[in-house]
Copies of this chain bind each other. A is one copy, B any other.
Amino acid sequence: MNQITAASTIAASPLEMERFADQNTPIVRDCWYVAGFSDEISRDILARRILGIDVALYRTLAGEPVAVRNRCPHRSFPLAKGRLDGDVLVCGYHGMQFDPSGRCVDMPSMPIVPTNANVRAFPTAERGPLVWIWMGDPDHADEALIPDTSWLDSPEWKSVRGQYHIASDYVAMHENLLDQTHFPFLHPGTVGTPEFARSKLDVRREGDVIVIYRSLKNAPPPGIYGVPMKLMDRKVDRFSEARFVSPALHTAYASVTDNTDVEAGPRKYRFNITHLITPETQNSIHYWWFNSRDSRLDDEEADTFLRTASEQAYLEDVEALEWISETVNRDVEPQFDLSFAPDKPGLLMRRVLFEQAEAETARGY
């Protein structure tokens, strides 16, 4: 647990100094995580580690995504090295066959099918360009818990996207995403303006969701939105919000409102950024992102600009997180990081992650 020594003297309202998740806290398992972009999962079996467990991912002939443990219950052969026979996954070692529910439907060397020889299957669900997976208690795998990302396949929005593998923990990643004070230092070229950085940031906790937001009237637009929307010569009203939605998802919303044309009325440009974070292991994560907009949908120049700017900014985050993780993991002397008032959103999120992990530990996970 990290020491919050500075907070009590510096923050207006002191943060409690206990029970915040860090890189050693058990990963929350009862959660829908992204298993991959929809087009990553196909009739070619994909092996991917998720929450430390090898998973084999494929689609049925009807196109349903299937996820089973990538380890035959007989002799531990990785099932993703086998082959598909219709909807059935055939082990490459002894030809044992499993249906999409993980039930063994044939063991060629046996006269009868062994009834107890099943492989663990994980609930999956497809939503637009994403396949979600539930690695926790299957009795809790309620699809109603899958968070909303409906803008990703709405015709009113246009998205660019990308993905990274990151040698860091998901706690540090989420903290980075709830932290805007690093923008001018880590992303000097792309994100943020001095005016906006100085504006008041509000934070609230809504259940297990953490929200930060700020607004600013009559200010220059940030380059990342102003350039592709061709607004750099104007003053705009700005609003932005970022949300820790779940251990698997962080979303950011921004709007830029142009009031120049009094006759036509305000023209609002909206942006959604979707960060999908799936722990591969305790110290590494799969990361997918989307940058979505509701304006200039067919503008390929805007696509290119937003993709390039996002890739650069997220790569700067990836590098920073990996440098930190390497530093923390190899240091012979532990360090208790100091926290300050602007760290409050991240600390609230770390408290949520701690409480969720603690509850799972109490349930015997």
Contact = CB atoms under 8 A, between A and B. Distances in A.
A338 B71 contact: no
A74 interface: yes
Given A77-B320, A116-B6, A342-B109, A94 B331 contact: no
A340 B108 contact: no
A114 interface: yes
A337 interface: yes
Given A320-B93, A327-B54, A331-B71, A338 B114 contact: yes
Nearest to A336: B73
Interface in A308-365: 320, 323-324, 327-328, 330-333, 335, 337-342
Interface in A103-121: 107-110, 112, 114-117
Contacts of A335: 71, 73, 76
A17 interface: no
B327 A94 contact: no
Contacts of A172: 75
11 contacts: A9-B116, A10-B114, A54-B331, A71-B335, A73-B335, A74-B338, A75-B337, A76-B335, A77-B320, A93-B186, A114-B338
A153 B273 CA distance: 60
Interface in A245-285: 281
Taken together, the copies of this chain in the complex come to: 3
Interface stretch (A60-68, A177-185, A214-222): A177-185
B327 A70 contact: yes
A95 B184 contact: yes
In the complex, which range does the number of interface residues on chain A fall in? 35 or more
Interface of A (DSSP majority class): loop
Interface in A53-101: 53-54, 70-71, 73-78, 81, 90-95
A7 to B, nearest CB: 10
A17 B100 CA distance: 30
Given A92-B186, A95-B185, A182-B94, A323 B114 contact: no
Please provide the 3 A-B residue pairs with the shortest distance between their CB atoms, ordered closest to farther: A52-B332, A109-B181, A95-B185
Interface of A: 5-6, 9-10, 51-54, 70-71, 73-78, 81, 90-95, 107-110, 112, 114-117, 172, 175, 179, 181-182, 184-186, 281, 320, 323-324, 327-328, 330-333, 335, 337-342
A246 to B, nearest CB: 21
Contact of A114 (B107, B108, B340): B340
Contacts of A184: 95, 108
Contacts of A78: 323-324, 327
A81 B5 contact: no
Contacts of A332: 51-53, 281
Given A9-B116, A52-B332, A74-B338, 5 more contacts: A71-B327, A77-B323, A77-B327, A93-B182, A94-B182
B75 A324 contact: yes
A359 to B, nearest CB: 20
Given A92-B185, A94-B182, A323-B78, A10 B71 contact: no
A324 B77 contact: yes
Given A71-B335, A335-B71, A320 B92 contact: yes
Nearest to A90: B185
